[in-house]
Amino acid sequence: MAIKRVLHYGEESLRKPSKEVHKVSKKISDLIRDLFDTMYAQNGVGLAAPQIGVNLRVFVVDASTKENPMDPMVFINPKIIKKSGAVKSTEGCLSFPEAYSDVVRYKDIMVKATNEHGKTFVMEAKDGTLLARCIQHENDHLDGILFIDHCLNRFETEEILKKNNLPSIDTDRLLDEEDLKSQL
């Protein structure tokens, strides 16, 4: 369909909670194609609708690797229904060009969502894989949560943002994840 402009950190749409999708209409199908086109054009592994200024609960993922090939996936109205363990990783985001930070995520998750054909599915992503982390990252976008809200070192992340001419961390949005961090 079309490559859309990816919003950058500081733009309002990234912090707004997204609305549920009630029907996989032509509008949603077009949105899904735009998300994939934009994600691939930016060399991303995931992209959520709010990142292109559409506050609907939709994201796409292509976490295929040479070691673990898989098909691209669509998640509509996703809900993480089970989570456990913890894993530390370095994350980036297409809305934060060239900025990366260490974050903590759940190691194992189970997610329930609807696919592009309107079918509900449940899937697991385990062992802190790229897929598990990507699903959590993109799902956060739907709630106005950004990866920097999970940062392990606020001051280091602040320096990275500054170096990349991005706004400062909103300390009120930092997540209290001591229980998760204690599992590392």
d(CA 19, CA 64) in angstroms, rounded, equals 28
Do residues 48 and 138 touch, judged by C-beta distance below 8 A?
yes
Q: Which residues are catalytic?
A: 138
Q: Is residue 29 exposed (0-12), middle (13-18) or buried (19+ Cβ within 10 Å)?
A: middle
Contacts of 130 (CB under 8 A, 6+ apart): 45, 63, 65, 68
